[in-house]
Structure 1
Amino acid sequence: MLKKITGFMLFFLLIAHNLWGENIFQEIPLSEHIENVEVLPSEIVRHLPMDVNSQIAYFVKYYTTEKKEVLQRWFRRCGPFLPYFRVIFKEEGLPEDLVYLALVESGCNPFAVSRAGAVGIWQFIETTGRLYGLKVDYWIDERKDFIKSTYAAAKYLKKLYEIFGDWRLAVASYNAGEGRVSRALRAKNFADYWKVMMSGAIPFETFAYLPQWLAISIIIKDPQKYGFLPLIEEPWDYVELNVPGGLDLKVLSLAAEVDYDILRKLNAELRREFTPPGVTYPLKIPITSADKLLANLKRLELEEVKVNTPSGEVTLFVSAKDSVIIRNFEEKKGENSSKKKTTSSNRTKTSSSKDSKVAKKKKPSKGR
């Protein structure tokens, strides 16, 4: 979701263009807005035919002044994710700089939810997410899965490029929707990106979307030049470990001796912060914690809780020492839950020692 911006200046210039029939942005030299922004990064120049103009310079200045702290926070948040994005986009044959759309969309926040209901780092609405293979149900929302949603975003961007044959229009369509951009092109009889953007047929949010992305791409290529701390891209070295269903993510964090916030980000798709009951689940876990999880899970004293869900009664397992039995779980007031103490080791169906196994190691190649 495009973050709130001070758009009055751009809006005024757009209105002025409509009144006077001129592309006012093109008349303002880039150098008048910010120094030392002569050219775009080579990756963008190579893949994206475009016009360097003051829209981009405006957002370079915007993100290096008014929103500098926000962008620095996005850099920190994106550090672990970007290496995976680069690998996936390269695998899908996309220009590498498209990964920076994640900053404009959500600031790399897997838990982001827009007013329109778009979810995750790549801000998919449910219908589009399902169309590109993302599962959404009571327990799981793969729009929040940073790996699966990135594959979906890459495939969607490829499809948009196939439709429009222009990365600028493809990027605009990612924000506004392919239907809206196609209708604007037909209605105005334009084939040029800047003309259709300046025509007023596209929402203002989309009008500002591509310049924001390009401005961030410029800054992120040389952050220290623009007064930012270096962007540290350190991917999580994790494995997928099959764990029992119905387990509280907090229990798994305690068993693995791993920071809960890290485990939650790695498994952001778990809507209820429980693994789906009744089946084993491939939990992402830091590789250094995998053996600890296997050793500790079967020794934990757990409390068995029966809870009604839209699909019927299910059994969940929480820590017996946890004063809050079900955190963030939508249990109706007055609903009776039967509880009994158990241990992971005496539940044959969910025995961690037999049912759990390392699925595969996940880490991008260094230097990619």
Structure 2
Amino acid sequence: MNKPRQPLVESIAQHNALNQNVKKSNPSLIFINTHINGSRLRAMIDTGATHSFITQGAISTLYHSAIPPCDRIAQLGDGQTTFKIVGEVQLFLQFNKVFTPLNVLVVKTMNTDFILGSDWCTKNAARIDYENNQVSIQSSCGRIFIPYHNSIDCLTLDVKSITVIHIPPRESCTVQAKVELSSADTVYFSPVDPIQSEKSIVMSPSLLHINNYTTYLEVYNPHDYTYTLPMSTLLGRVTHKPYEMHSCLLFDTSRETLSLSPQHHIFNTIELEQKPSETSNTIDKLITHIKNVPEQQQLRLILQQHMKIFDISKITQANMHIQHTINTGDSLPISSRPYPRTIEQRRELQDEIQKMTQTNQIRPSNSPWSSPVIIHKK
């Protein structure tokens, strides 16, 4: 067993170019099978990681000696995500009849049990053959060819927001997210169920591209208020694209390189358009005179809590137990001849009376007092 050689280990990925000629059926994540102490273990090849990693759960089934404790931190390529290293062990990886020694850093947990980083790739002169779906390494007997492990659909990686995002009402926003994977051409993103997560945002399943542990996706705020997305919010999970899934990459393959800046991002999403309700428009008009933005937002939240009051799309009725009476004393009812109206006016009056009767705004009266009605043109 080798002792720790440095206080800080940075696992960073710097992929400067994409292989644009990869076939659609080739996996974005590469896994191979290896044998350690007679037990088979699936390993993910991550050329962007400077070191190789294994979880405590996996090492407990392979390595039964005590692991000396250490206080070291590994940092992902996003510059923010860190996880603690609990030790370092030397393992002998068996491929066919060839053994390759490797110093592996032990961590508490990862999204996959075993990662072969660039240290293993460089030491063994590893070559990734995308056309034939295999990896080859150099040995004293020549090159050894290791086929891809095909059943990798079960790998699931969390997708979390990197910074605090403020999404305006009824608008979508492109969010930069982090994934515990240095790079991948195509992964399938599945958003967190909004019913289970209780988040007031909408996202669509999509195919994402991962570069330098980051990706970009679109988030929609369907509400009438600004929604704040906290840092490290779980947005969903990405899985490897199954072989039987027919899909395509959403970028111009004629370009030699691909820049994943915030101005040039890759995402496949469904745009959602939700027209603002009349009540929302009414509230917006009521607060337009307020120039102070924080005060306007506070008042908007208060009015939205009582949105039903401003809903004029349908007629409502207030239920009260007070009996309204007018004391006329000994005065006799006043009667007068009705004003002459045209047939169109009488029809319009009858329609309005019928509407108000149906909504319980008025009811038939047996009072000897008349109820004058005036029709005013709009």
TM-score, normalising length: structure 2: 0.19
- Of the two, which has the highest radius of gyration? 2
Return the structure number with greater relative CO, CA threshold 8 A, min gap 6: 1
TM-score, normalising length: structure 1: 0.20
